[in-house]
């Protein structure tokens, strides 16, 4: 019984550590090309346009189209590609 408990604890800790790695930065040698699409009209007054973002899925970056959000009395800082030694990583946009 102690052995099973130890094994389950090890599996739990390993799963937690690996899940933390999944949200990390992924390096690509070339930045993907951003698709061209038309920005829709604002759906309501004071809507804030959140530009498209890149998300790591299935071993590659996938583009997520921009959208409107309600203003939060803060500034939206758009995401951008950051140059790193082996290529580029996507820095997500955020409210500041």
- 17 belongs to a structural domain: no
Domain tally, the chain: 1
The whole-number pLDDT of residue 9 equals 43
- Phi and psi at residue 48, to the nearest 5°: -105, 125
- 63 belongs to a structural domain: yes
pLDDT in tens, 29-83: 999 999 999 999 999 998 999 999 999 999 999 999 999 999 888 999 999 999 9
Domain with 50 in it: 27-95
pLDDT in tens, 2-26: 665 454 444 443 333 333 334 468 9
The whole-number pLDDT of residue 3 equals 61
- 72 belongs to a structural domain: yes
The whole-number pLDDT of residue 71 equals 85
pLDDT at position 89 over 70: yes
- 19 belongs to a structural domain: no
CA angle 58, 63, 68 (to 5 degrees): 135
């Amino acid at each position: 019984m102690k052995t099973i408990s130890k094994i389950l604890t090890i599996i739990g800790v390993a799963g937690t550590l690996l899940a933390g790695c999944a949200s990390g930065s992924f390096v690509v040698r070339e930045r993907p090309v951003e698709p061209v699409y038309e920005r829709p009209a604002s759906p309501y007054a004071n809507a804030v346009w959140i530009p498209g973002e890149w998300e790591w899925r299935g071993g590659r970056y996938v583009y997520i189209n921009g959208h409107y959000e309600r203003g939060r009395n803060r500034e939206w800082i758009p995401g951008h590609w950051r140059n790193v030694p082996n290529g580029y990583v996507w820095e997500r946009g955020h409210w500041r």
